[in-house]
C-alpha cells in the first residue's frame, strides 16, 4: 500500500480499512509481540504490518514479509515462538507493494524458501515493486525493494502444500494486479476454523492513473469483492491487522466495494 505524507490529512477521516499508508511510517519498523491467531497460525509481523506463519513438523509457510528493513524483526519473532527460520519452505504474498513484500528477498536468503505468486505478482516482485501496471505506480518513487525471484505459477484455486499444510489461492486483483487472498484450516484439538488472509481492497491511485480509464480492470475489481465475501472465513486476517479488526469477509468486501464506488464517482466529476 502506498501514500505520500501529503495525503495524510485528506485520508484521516477514512476508516482504518481505507488507509493506504507507506513509508516513512516510523512504527512499521518497530517490533510487535508475536502471537497465535489460531492453532498453528501465528502473527509474526511488526507494528501495523502482518506476516503470517503457518507451521508444521515438516516445514512452515510464511505469507508476506512487511517492510524492507524488517526481516530481522520477523525472524526474531519466529525464533521467539520456538520455530526455526530455516524451516520456512514456502513464502507467499498478498500483494507486491514494499510494505508487504519488501523483506521477502532477505527472508529467502536466510531460509532458502521458495517464493510463489500469481504471474502479475511475480512480475511486480521481480521489478522490486515498481510495476507500471499498478494503479499506485510512480516512476520516480523510492518505494522499491530488492528484486525477488518468484515463481509466477499461482492461479485461482491453486492449492499449495508443505507437509500437511494446504493453502488455497483466491485471485483478488484490484488494489494491485496480482492481489491474492489465501485460505486454510487451523485446528485446536478437534475444533477447526477457516482462516482467510484477505488482501487489501482499498482503491487508491497515484499520479494520473484513473480507474475509469481501465474498464476491464474495474470489472475484475468488482468480481474481487464478491470473491472475498464468499471466502471460507471464520477468522479474517488482513495485511494491515487493524483493517480486519471487527470485520467479517462480507463487511470487509463491502467496505472495499463502497470505496471503489466513491473513487469512480470522484473521477467522474
| Residue-level pLDDT, tens digit, the chain, 269 residues | 443 323 333 333 334 444 444 445 888 889 999 999 999 999 999 999 999 999 999 999 999 999 999 999 999 999 999 999 999 999 999 999 999 999 999 999 999 999 999 999 999 999 999 999 999 999 888 889 999 999 999 999 999 999 999 999 999 999 999 999 999 999 999 999 999 999 999 999 988 899 999 999 999 999 999 999 999 999 999 999 999 999 999 999 999 999 999 999 999 99
Catalytic, out of 95, 143, 197, 221: 95
Looking at residue 24, its pLDDT comes to 57
Catalytic residue among 60, 98, 170, 240: 240
Reported as a single tens digit per residue, the pLDDT across 153-202 is: 999 999 999 999 999 999 999 999 999 999 999 999 999 999 999 999 99
pLDDT of residue 8: 31
Burial of 46 (0-12, 13-18, 19+ CB in 10 A): buried
From the candidates 60, 97, 98, 170, which is the catalytic residue? 97
C-alpha to C-alpha distances, 115 to 93, 101, 105, 133, 171, nearest whole angstrom: 8, 11, 9, 21, 16
Catalytic residue, from 64, 100, 145, 211: name it. 100
pLDDT of residue 13: 32
Instruction: Please pick, among 175, 197, 199, 221, the residue that the annotation labels catalytic.
Output: 175
Minimal CA–CA distance to 128: which of 106, 99, 152, 98? Answer: 98
- Using the structure block, give the residue that is written with the C-alpha cell 494503479: 135
pLDDT of 5:
29
What is the SS3 assignment for 197? strand
> From CA 116, how far away is CA 61, in angstroms rounded?
11
Please say if 95 is a catalytic residue: yes
Cα(32)–Cα(9) distance, rounded to whole angstroms?
26
Distance CA 121, CA 232 (A): 23
C-alpha cell at 64: 508476506
- List the domains of the chain with CATH numbers: 5-268 (3.60.15.10)
Query: Exposed, middle or buried, 83 (CB in 10 Å: 0-12/13-18/19+)?
Result: middle
Please check whether residue 118 is in contact with residue 86, taking contact to mean a CB–CB distance below 8 angstroms: no
User: What pLDDT shows up at residue 10?
Assistant: 33
**Residue of 87, 209, 217, 234 marked catalytic:** 209
35 counts as catalytic: no
97 labelled catalytic: yes
d(CA 68, CA 193): 32
175 an active-site residue?
A: yes
- pLDDT for 139: 86
Beta strands in the chain (DSSP E): 35-38, 41-43, 52-54, 60-63, 88-92, 114-118, 151-154, 159-162, 165-171, 180-188, 191-197, 235-237
* Distance separating alpha carbons of residues 189 and 246, to the nearest angstrom: 25
Report d(CA 218, CA 72) in Å as an integer: 38
Catalytic residue among 99, 131, 143, 185: 99
Contact 205, 211 (CB under 8 A): yes
Amino acid at each position: 500500500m502506498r501514500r505520500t505524507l501529503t495525503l495524510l490529512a485528506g485520508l484521516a477521516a477514512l476508516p482504518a480499512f481505507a488507509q493506504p499508508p507507506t513509508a516513512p511510517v516510523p512504527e512499521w519498523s518497530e517490533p510487535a509481540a508475536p502471537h497465535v491467531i489460531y492453532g498453528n497460525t501465528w502473527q509474526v509481523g511488526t507494528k501495523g504490518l502482518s506476516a503470517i506463519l503457518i507451521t508444521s513438523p515438516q516445514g512452515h509457510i510464511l505469507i508476506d514479509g512487511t517492510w524492507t528493513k524488517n526481516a530481522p524483526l520477523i525472524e526474531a519473532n519466529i525464533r521467539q515462538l520456538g520455530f526455526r527460520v530455516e524451516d520456512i519452505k514456502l513464502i507467499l504474498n498478498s500483494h507486491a507493494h514494499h510494505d508487504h513484500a519488501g523483506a521477502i528477498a532477505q527472508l529467502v536468503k536466510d531460509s532458502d524458501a521458495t517464493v510463489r505468486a500469481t504471474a502479475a505478482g511475480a512480475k511486480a516482485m521481480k521489478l522490486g515493486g515498481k510495476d507500471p501496471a499498478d494503479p499506485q505506480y510512480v516512476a520516480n518513487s523510492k518505494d522499491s525493494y530488492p528484486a525477488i525471484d518468484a515463481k509466477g505459477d499461482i492461479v485461482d484455486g491453486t492449492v499449495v502444500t508443505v507437509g500437511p499444510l494446504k493453502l488455497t489461492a483466491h485471485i483478488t486483483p484490484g488494489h494491485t494486479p496480482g492481489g491474492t487472498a489465501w485460505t486454510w484450516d487451523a485446528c485446536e484439538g478437534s475444533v477447526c476454523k477457516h482462516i482467510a488472509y484477505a488482501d487489501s481492497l482499498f482503491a487508491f491511485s497515484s499520479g494520473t492513473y484513473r480507474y475509469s480509464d481501465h474498464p476491464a480492470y474495474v470489472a475484475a475489481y468488482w468480481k474481487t469483492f464478491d470473491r472475498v465475501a464468499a471466502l471460507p472465513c471464520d477468522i479474517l486476517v488482513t495485511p494491515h491487522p487493524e483493517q480486519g479488526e471487527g470485520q467479517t469477509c462480507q463487511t470487509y468486501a463491502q467496505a472495499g466495494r463502497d470505496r471503489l464506488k466513491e473513487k469512480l464517482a470522484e473521477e467522474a466529476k
